[in-house]
Amino acid sequence: MEPRFVIEAGIEAFHHRPLKEEIFEILHKRIISGKYVLGEWLRQEEIASQLGVSQTPVREALDLLVSAGLAERVPYRGVCVPSLTAEEIAEAYALRLLLETVAVRAAATQRTQAQIETLSRLSEQSKALVTLNDMPNLRLLNREFHLSMVTASGNSLLTKMYVMVSNKFPDWMLYEYMFRHPDLLEPNLRREYEEHKAIAGAITDRDADLAVQHTIKHIRNLGSELVIFLDVPESLLRVAEEHLGSLIKFHK
């Protein structure tokens, strides 16, 4: 039987989950912590040797990384940590602003009781996660919160489009930056929690206008992080928004 392991305080230790998920978690943390750099190839055979497992679960874990937007599969070459251009990041930012604004307005009227309970649970689960070792879990909770919000719109095609866009948004790069600057952790994660809580509350109250307002504020704050943390020119974000301005009106 293959060994089972997790990351505990930076050490790979044995545990009991599907092996591909354990390997995914290890690789996930390596990327967020900067152990793998932008453009670096994730060699299946090398990783299997390092972890003492066969190549099959490593291949499956790499597929999970690609699905999560943490890695890119290049035909005939393999899987690598993606290196996104500033223009690509700006496009993903603007599309998130568009799609999440549309979705949250619908979610405020279409959501079910189970869906608002899920949003509240995901928001509260992130409240206590404030350490460096929490960051892979935080990233996953963040993505799950936003996906659950979009799913609550009741529009399956919108949800599929959102998944494609969110996989191109470099949230892992933002977490990687905070991983290297621990002083930023508490204030940024506290703000993220409060904004998620506000969005979930507006959806619960069926207040579509307020839900849109909170969502725009939240995504624009992420945009500010792109500028400050990743050196994405703010002008690119504004231009990307303007290109979508004819589709939806964004309130300041």
* pTM across the whole model: 0.79
Distance CA 211, CA 169 (A): 21
Residue 39 pLDDT > 70, yes or no? Answer: yes
pLDDT tens sequence across 144-172:
999 999 999 999 999 999 988 887 888 88
Q: Say which CATH architecture domain 5-80 belongs to.
A: Orthogonal Bundle (1.10)
Which residues of the chain form CATH 1.10.10.10?
A: 5-80
Dig out the tokens for 52 from the structure.
């003492």
Average pLDDT value for the chain: 87
Which residues of the chain form CATH 1.20.120.530?
A: 86-244
| CA 139, chain centre distance (Å) | 5
State which fold the 86-244 domain adopts.
Answer: Four Helix Bundle (Hemerythrin (Met), subunit A) (1.20.120)
Nearest by Cα to 104 from 204, 171, 245, 249: 204
pLDDT tens sequence across 104-159:
999 999 999 999 999 999 999 999 888 878 887 888 889 899 999 999 999 999 99
Contact 223, 217 (CB under 8 A): no
- pLDDT in the model for residue 6: 41
